[in-house]
Amino acid sequence: MVGKEIKTTDYKRLFNEARAFAVKSHGDQKYGVSPYEIHLGNVISVLMKFNVDLSNPYNLNLLIAAWLHDVLEDTAVTKAELEEKFGTVVTEIVYTLSDDQGASREERKINFYKKIAKNEEAIIVKLADRISNVEFSIIHGNDRKFEMYKVEQLKLEEVLIPVLKSALGLELLTYLRKLLK
């Protein structure tokens, strides 16, 4: 489990296990017209662009959670199953990243933002996820999605600004703001 002390030699194996689990769990799900793995890999790439690598357990939890960030929300994987396989820390990050119930996207996001404000690791993965989504929208000319993310950014920042403390989180937020101009 990731929540326990792990050897440096295990980092790559655990990272690859998370990738394989996420890809298998998402199955034939698509991200646009691409396999869902493309989106998951893009979130990993964003984190790596900001120097999140396999050099310590904190980064490992972020990277594993990035691979798994949509499995509770979009697949049949249960919280208990995820915790058994990847530990409490990763499961809490992924659970925090899962949208809450609500009658509309706006209502679900408001509830989600309240939850995410309590977990800085989840905030970091969420910012990488949002950067990935915005970049994908720009690359593929999806102006509707881009505008949706731009509108949601204001509410996201209302929640994040008071609680975001890490240099990494602030760097990700700054980059996201530049993308959304």
Q: Confidence class of residue 9 from pLDDT cuts 50, 70 and 90?
A: low
DSSP-derived letter for residue 34 is E
Question: In the chain, where are the structural domains located?
Answer: 10-179
> Does residue 29 or residue 8 have the better pLDDT?
29
State yes or no: pLDDT of 2 exceeds 50.
no
pLDDT of residue 7: 57
The string of pLDDT tens digits covering residues 125-177 is 999 999 999 999 999 999 999 999 999 998 889 989 999 999 999 999 999 99
Q: Confidence class of residue 106 from pLDDT cuts 50, 70 and 90?
A: confident
The string of pLDDT tens digits covering residues 14-65 is 999 999 999 999 999 999 899 999 999 999 999 999 999 887 767 999 999 9
**pTM for the whole structure:** 0.91
DSSP-derived letter for residue 23 is H
Q: CA 52 to CA 48: how far, in whole Å?
A: 5
The values of phi and psi at residue 76, to 5°, are: -85, 0
Cα three-residue angle 106-160-4, rounded to 5 degrees: 105
CATH number of 10-179: 1.10.3210.10
pLDDT of residue 8: 55
In the numeric block, the tokens 């890490």 are attached to: 166
The string of pLDDT tens digits covering residues 109-125 is 888 888 999 999 999 99
